[in-house]
Amino acid sequence: MALRLGRRWANLFERQAAKILDHYLLQTPAKQDSVQAVALGIDSIGVATNLSGPRSGGAVFRPVVQQSRVLPPLHHQQTAGLATSAAKQGVPPPGPKLGLSSLVLLAPCGITLYLGLWQLQRREQKIAMLAERQQKLAGDPVSLPELLASQGSESAPDLEFRRVELTGTYDVSRSIFVGPRVKSAPGGMTEKGFHVVTPLMPEDKRAPPVLVNRGWVPNDWTEPPGGETKVTVCGVVRGSDQPSQFVPPNAPEAGEWFFIDAPRMARETGIGDNALLIEATSDVGSRPGVARYPEPRDPLELAKFRIMPQDHLNYAMTWLTLFAAVSTMAYMRLFGRSSRRKQVVLKYKDGT
């Protein structure tokens, strides 16, 4: 009794599935994807029915499996005719479905490609900017009045990274300590300290007062008694620091300066809002082994960026490698699945 009910149920499902297939073959390509689902469902039911029966009764269920895999001759001819009619009407074969899931797969491809190309573009910009800085630093120092006079001409170059020379007197009573700043010490150790920014009153009255970043000093450093009466500073015109989002804001009222803000420092020291910032430089190897504070920076170090062109190239290779990986996975997911759909539909149409 149970075996007869199983066969009747399978035959009924086969007839209903055949009607659904006839209907869907005449619809739009978007609905042709359901053909494979129904075909696979019929096949799986037939196989399941055959496996569920006793081994001795396998011959009884073989017609059911045969019917689930191959349609009856008349119906198969009708289905083939409908498929041929749909092909003559210009209905394209099943392709990749570009829906929300496809956009989710393609979005990482576009993002990683854009970031990789942007890093390459930034690398080219940094190379050009680095060459310009090095060219300016290679020039001879000029006096500050001469440099300021050139700023008023139409072809005045950018003042930043221009080398200047200025004689004047430090006002050490208004020095500002910026930090903390870490300096590498011999033996792989590091030492904490500050940068000292002091107003300089030029001897040449044509030049306005300037701020001078005199260099690095350790935490326990103090100004020498009596201060410096007259100095000649050779340095480079610089701009304010560009702190990251993790650097806290300056608090002049508490005497805390975490980065150099030239206009605000000029106001706090009372020398005017438009005072230039000059970073003192050192002659490398002039006094080896002698500790001298404040310790000016090496001129060659001033031209460097926090992120150099080689770093941008490394970032670009990383992003482009990720682009190759995610685009390959997206292609296999979209077009590989479409290929499997075509194979299923073709096998069903051939009756195999």
Burial of 91 (0-12, 13-18, 19+ CB in 10 A): middle
pLDDT in tens, 37-71: 444 444 444 444 444 444 444 444 344 434 444 44
What pLDDT sits at residue 322?
95
For tokens 């430090």, the residue is: 170
CA–CA distance, 146 with 276 (Å, rounded to integer): 14
What pLDDT sits at residue 230?
82
Q: Does residue 218 contact residue 191 with C-beta atoms inside 8 Å?
A: yes
Q: Does residue 39 contact residue 344 with C-beta atoms inside 8 Å?
A: yes
Q: How long a stretch of residues is the chain?
A: 352
CA–CA distance, 173 with 175 (Å, rounded to integer): 6
Q: Does residue 238 contact residue 277 with C-beta atoms inside 8 Å?
A: yes
Other C-beta atoms within 10 Å of 136: how many? Answer: 19
CA–CA distance, 2 with 217 (Å, rounded to integer): 96
Mean of pLDDT values over 71-81:
46
Q: Does residue 330 contact residue 22 with C-beta atoms inside 8 Å?
A: no
pLDDT at 272 over 90: no
pLDDT above 90 covers what percent of the chain? 37
For residues 242 and 64, the model is more confident at 242
57: left (phi over 0), alpha (psi -120 to 50) or beta: alpha
CB under 8 Å to 236, separation ≥6 — which residues? Answer: 137, 161, 162, 163, 164, 278, 279, 281, 299, 302
Q: Does residue 275 contact residue 210 with C-beta atoms inside 8 Å?
A: yes
**How high is the mean pLDDT of the chain?**
75
* This model's pTM is above 0.75: no
Q: Supply 220's token pair.
A: 């326990």
For tokens 């499902």, the residue is: 13
Q: Supply 129's token pair.
A: 């900017």
Q: Please, what sign has the CA dihedral across residues 307, 311, 316, 319?
A: negative
Q: Supply 218's token pair.
A: 């350790």
Domain range summary for the chain, segments of one domain joined by +: 2-92, 162-242+249-302
Q: Does residue 206 contact residue 278 with C-beta atoms inside 8 Å?
A: no
Calculate helix-pair angle for 2-24, 33-52, nearest 10 degrees.
Answer: 170
pLDDT above 70 covers what percent of the chain? 61
Q: Supply 103's token pair.
A: 């956009």
Instruction: Give the helix/strand (H/E) hosting 199.
Output: strand 189-202
Mean of pLDDT values over 95-117:
81
What pLDDT sits at residue 306?
87
pLDDT in tens, 176-207: 999 999 988 777 788 999 999 999 999 988 89
